[in-house]
Amino acid sequence: MKIGVYPGTFDPITLGHADIIARAAKLVDRLVIGVTTNASKSPMFSDEERIAMVMREVSGLGENIEVVGFRSLLVDFARQQSASVLVRGLRSSIDFEYEYQMTGMNAQMAPDVETIFLMSDVALQPISSSLVKEIAKFGGDISKFVSASVKDDVLGKV
């Protein structure tokens, strides 16, 4: 059985993340969405809120998707889940530099775990969770970037 992990902070989960999740779920037998907190971020939503939000958002995306929170090295989480694949979305060359470094270090720590990249859908490429929060704070419309339920969640926090 091929198990993949798609990790992220998901603060909040966007339509861009959902697109990667739906596509990645078709490539593996089981896709575990690993919800964590990037050490350099101060999330708007708590761990529990983000896990619940991601669970709700992926409920219609595939039977083989599971959502699990973690607070450890990604490679340790992947091993704990018996995953052989890490999935990341690539939006631009800016993502590439960051992902290149993480992939290289993860590969040295866990050579048995392969990272694969899915190019974001062209229409969803500019979306970032930070910009979604910033737009909402200034009263802008975020409906093109997140689902209606996530929009309500974000508006409840700003």
CA dist 124 and 63 (Å) reads 24
Quick one: 123 or 155, whose CB is closer to ligand COA? 123
Contact 4, 31 (CB under 8 A): yes
92 near ligand COA, rule: CB under 6 A: no
16 near ligand COA, rule: CB under 6 A: yes
Size of the site for ligand COA (CB under 6 A): 23
Backbone CA torsion sign across 137, 141, 142, 148? positive
Quick one: 67 or 74, whose CB is closer to ligand COA? 74
Cis peptide before 12 (omega within 30 of 0): yes
Where along the sequence are the contacts to ligand COA (CB under 6 A)? 7-10, 14, 16-17, 20, 36, 38, 73-74, 89, 91, 102, 105-106, 120, 124, 127-130
